[in-house]
Chains A and B, each alone.
Chain A
Amino acid sequence: MKEGALADKVRQWKKDISKQFDPLPDYLIPALQYVQRKAGFLPCEAMTALAQHLRVPEAKVFGVASFYSLFRLEPRGRNQITVCRGTACHVRGSAKLLGELENMLGISAGGTTADRLFTLETAGCLGACALATHVVVNDRAYGRQTAASVKRLVKSLSTSARGPRLAKAVSRPVRRRFTTGRRGNRTRRAV
């Protein structure tokens, strides 16, 4: 995809944002959430566009985006795995489960595999404590998991040609553009 396609995308987001949100600083978090739902993460260009529309400094947009743990400044993998690290899951051994997943995928929590197939994350508590250990894969909740059952699940995803849901958020070339682009790199250094 060409540079122009990215600019088109950003223009489109900007249009959507100005349609949905009045230009008030109050809407900063909902607008960031909106962009993340569309793009899967928060591209630099979109944050700049947002700052202009809501009339807040770019620094504030970045400050807010980096403060909250659900915002992502880098593109995520096609499949997203979130391991719950709540108390009940901890007591039932989620640390071990996470460790085995990290070994299997060769990344640590918060990372994305080189082939962009998987992103592995943790959550403070997902609130399904009675079904510990709790793992969310591509927005779907799986309860009573063990290291073995999660590994089976992950294996089945890596063999299926296309990950469900998340892959639809943005087509892949656009994302690659964000990571290799000049601004994308700058973001990563800033983090």
Chain B
Amino acid sequence: MLASRIRKAKRKWDELTQGSTPVVYVGCATCGIAAGAGDLLAVLDDELSRIGVRAKVITVGCIGMCFAEPLVDVRIPGQPRICYGRVTQEKLTKILNLHVRQGKPVVGLAMGTLGDGTHSRIPRLEDLPFMKPQVRVASRNCGLINPEDIDHYLARDGYRGLERALAMKSEDVIEEVVASELRGRGGGGFPTGQKWRFCRSAAGRPKYLICNGSEGDPGAFMDRTVLEGDPHAVLEGMCIAAHAIGASQGYVYVSGEYPLAIKRIKVALEDMYRIGILGDDMLGSGIAFDIQVKEGAGAYVCGEETALMASIEGNRGMPQPRPPFPAVKGLRGKPTSINNVETFACVPSILREGASWFASFGTVRSRGTKTFSLTGSIRNAGLIEVPMGIPLRQIVEEIGGGIAGGGKFKAAQTGGPSGGCLPARLGDIPMEYESLAEAGSMLGSGGLVIMDESTCMVDLARYFLTFTQNESCGKCTPCRLGTRRMLSMLERICAGQGRPGDVEALEELGRVVKNTSLCGLGQTAPNPVLATIRYFREEYEEHIQDRRCRAAVCAAMISSARRRRRTRGR
């Protein structure tokens, strides 16, 4: 049933990549639109008709080079697809005129070529320092295909993993995922195959499958990029999982802050129902599987699995004690498997290419690849996907291109408000679950904020605690009151009213909140404070004893002369 559709899709794709009509691709993920891609798109048709050229205009997701947004790619017959960055309307006019109309790529504005073919004066995009160390599995289609066109996905081996999975027994599908050693990409790091096995063997029907796209970590946008750039990869992963555990109903839970992702999933789901992937008979296999989109309403705690299920059931998003785990007693009391967006996005490739292929990337303890949203004071901010275990320094210096504005690398914040920070001197640490946990941080879902000397670590801890304190659902006391007490101490320190013994009190209270909170939010909320104390204790002490903020961030401690200097320096 799918074979003829794939043949048709391949023809359509070949026409796009090798055909005689020029093609203009515009990166239209949220990051691209924020940088002005919408304005470019609005004038593109007029500009094309003005210069009298017929060209196809395709909107794509984000390739990860957010620092260079808006991105426009151009492909003309006989030449490779060429990517232009930081495109303004003037640059667009120039590119259309020279490249599309006259067939001469604008070498000065080009970033690189994409796909097959080379150009003598333009490097291949994948040879750039930003791209070279990357291995794209979960984000392999992001920025290359139109996420709202299922044919593009099919032409790039889409749903081949599902076809293979459907030809296998469901136990064997689980074994394949177990063998790939894929671990939960949302931060927990629990082996995915095992989770599926528990859910499969649990008694009770129907079984539910939930895709956790409730991405609330400030500084993280991995799920958004994948859902906006390649929703079918996630949905194919869900179909494979449904076959593996015997689920009949799936939910994609997406943050309400991501309207574009929600729209693109809805388009993808419609296509899937139309060609018979979802519905009563998944590709002729007799498996009935439905997927519904659930839009979040703005609660960070709903990233926690039991709170997420409460939210789907129409309740306040408050967590429940575990066990029982969702795999045994989850949504509406039935066995439920909850996996992260990126976890699902890895699954089709594992089934298509085989478990050993996936396990060949990464380290012994953490296999495969991981996406990171690289942001902060870094030159090349964007979404990257690298093999697990890559040293932090390589990410900062090679992929990230070093600190923006020539500053000095001070620390990296990993894992958002649940994680901690790593000082520059630990730059050789391999980015994988265990190493980061041993260093007092965590891999988390993949937020990676790079900071230079102008960041005050005490202020950073205060910032994260303001966030978690605000987002605490209030159900359990250690989290509700503990975070509040910790925050008030930090606010006092930042206001220049710290007292000796505050740091020790923070450490003690942090340990209590960590050990006694009900859910992941509270159990990890003290992490940013504890990690900054561990590595930057002297900054806390300067704040308390000398009333000095070396980064000149805490306003109460800056003399007016210093403040003037600082404003000028910026």
A interface with B by C-beta (< 8 Å):
24-30, 32-33, 54, 56, 60, 63-64, 67-71, 85-88, 90-91, 123-132, 134, 139-144
Residues of B within 8 A of A140 (CB): 33, 38
B residues contacting the other copy or chain, number (CB 8 A): 56
- Do A127 and B463 touch across chains, with their CB atoms under 8 A apart? no
- Do B221 and A129 touch across chains, with their CB atoms under 8 A apart? yes
- Do A130 and B31 touch across chains, with their CB atoms under 8 A apart? yes
Q: How far is the CB of B483 from chain A (nearest CB, A)?
A: 15
- Do B314 and A124 touch across chains, with their CB atoms under 8 A apart? no
Measured CB to CB, the nearest residue on chain B to A70 is B298
Q: How far is the CB of B393 from chain A (nearest CB, A)?
A: 20
| Interface check B385, CB cutoff 8 A | no
- Do B297 and A70 touch across chains, with their CB atoms under 8 A apart? yes
Q: How far is the CA of A4 from the CA of B381 in the complex (A)?
A: 54
A-B contact pairs, 21 of them (CB 8 A): A27-B314, A28-B314, A29-B295, A69-B297, A69-B298, A70-B296, A71-B298, A85-B218, A87-B376, A88-B375, A90-B463, A124-B300, A124-B467, A125-B217, A125-B257, A127-B224, A128-B31, A130-B373, A131-B69, A132-B375, A143-B31
- Do B316 and A64 touch across chains, with their CB atoms under 8 A apart? yes
- Do A125 and B218 touch across chains, with their CB atoms under 8 A apart? yes
Give B455-478 interface residues, CB cut-off 8 Å to A: 455, 463-464, 467, 471, 473
Q: How far is the CB of B495 from chain A (nearest CB, A)?
A: 15
- Do B447 and A130 touch across chains, with their CB atoms under 8 A apart? no
Residue among A24, A32, A64, A127 facing the most chain B CB atoms (10 A cut-off): A127
Known: A25-B314, A28-B314. A88 touches B219 (CB 8 A): yes
Contact of A125 among B33, B36, B219, B315 (CB under 8 A): B219
- Do A64 and B220 touch across chains, with their CB atoms under 8 A apart? no
Q: How far is the CB of A164 from chain B (nearest CB, A)?
A: 13
Q: How far is the CB of B295 from chain A (nearest CB, A)?
A: 6
| Interface check B382, CB cutoff 8 A | yes
- Do A87 and B219 touch across chains, with their CB atoms under 8 A apart? yes
Q: How far is the CA of A91 from the CA of B219 in the complex (A)?
A: 10
| Interface check B133, CB cutoff 8 A | no
Q: How far is the CA of A140 from the CA of B428 in the complex (A)?
A: 40
Q: How far is the CB of A36 from chain B (nearest CB, A)?
A: 9
- Do B381 and A91 touch across chains, with their CB atoms under 8 A apart? no
Measured CB to CB, the nearest residue on chain B to A86 is B218
Q: How far is the CA of A29 from the CA of B295 in the complex (A)?
A: 8
- Do A128 and B316 touch across chains, with their CB atoms under 8 A apart? no
Residues of A within 8 A of B258 (CB): 127
Measured CB to CB, the nearest residue on chain A to B302 is A68
Known: A69-B298, A128-B66, A144-B35. A86 touches B219 (CB 8 A): yes
| Interface check B449, CB cutoff 8 A | yes
Residues of A within 8 A of B463 (CB): 87, 90
Known: A29-B297, A124-B467. A130 touches B375 (CB 8 A): yes
Q: How far is the CB of A35 from chain B (nearest CB, A)?
A: 12
Residues of B within 8 A of A144 (CB): 34-35
Known: A125-B220, A130-B67. 9 other contacts (CB 8 A): A29-B297, A32-B297, A71-B297, A86-B219, A87-B218, A91-B451, A126-B257, A128-B30, A130-B66
| Interface check B416, CB cutoff 8 A | yes
Residue among A32, A125, A141 facing the most chain B CB atoms (10 A cut-off): A125
- Do B455 and A124 touch across chains, with their CB atoms under 8 A apart? no
Q: How far is the CB of B64 from chain A (nearest CB, A)?
A: 9
Measured CB to CB, the nearest residue on chain A to B66 is A130
Q: How far is the CB of B269 from chain A (nearest CB, A)?
A: 15
- Do A67 and B219 touch across chains, with their CB atoms under 8 A apart? no
| Interface check B541, CB cutoff 8 A | no
Contact of A87 among B297, B299, B317, B449 (CB under 8 A): B449
Contact of B315 among A64, A69, A141 (CB under 8 A): A64
- Do B315 and A130 touch across chains, with their CB atoms under 8 A apart? no
Contact of A67 among B38, B69, B299, B374 (CB under 8 A): B299
